[in-house]
Amino acid sequence: MNLIPFIVILIFSYLWTALTNKYLPSETLDKKGQQDRYDERQRKMFIEILAKSFIWIIYCMLFTLLIRLIGLTPNIEKTWFSQYPEIFFIVAAIYLWLLITLLQIKKYTSKG
């Protein structure tokens, strides 16, 4: 029995949990009574950025599914996208997160 995949998954899960507990606001982790390092404006911005990014990632996934279902995809059998579509969604998520973050900072920054 090979335990290495289970150990890798366990380590990844532990690191992911530690990172999210350290950097996410308490509202996103269902820890309402705890204080975190963000003020109210920063928490609101963070939650809004996460929500908008999530909506756009779902849109990208549904759009990709729709294109595949109606047959408008080019010949992608031997490309990286057909083997690793997760890479496309990770790149799209990073791009969307950066764009939405810049727009939210502009929205919440006082003028003057």
| pLDDT mean for each 10 residues of the chain (112 residues) | 88 92 79 73 86 90 85 68 80 91 85 67
Q: Is residue 28 part of a domain?
A: no
Distances (CA, A) of 21 to 7, 16, 69, 100, 103: 21, 8, 39, 22, 25
Q: Is residue 34 part of a domain?
A: no
CA distance 38 to 88: 31
pLDDT, residue 33, reads: 65
Residue type, 31: K
Q: Is residue 54 part of a domain?
A: yes
pLDDT, residue 78, reads: 66
Q: Is residue 87 part of a domain?
A: yes
Angle between helix axes 85-108 and 40-70 (nearest 10 degrees) is 140
pLDDT, residue 41, reads: 82
Q: What is the count of structural domains for the chain?
A: 1
Would you state the structure tokens that stand for residue 38, as one six-digit string?
């963000």
pLDDT, residue 66, reads: 87
Q: Is residue 51 part of a domain?
A: yes
Q: Which domain holds residue 82?
A: 47-68+76-112
Q: Is residue 25 part of a domain?
A: no
Q: Is residue 22 part of a domain?
A: no
Q: Is residue 36 part of a domain?
A: no
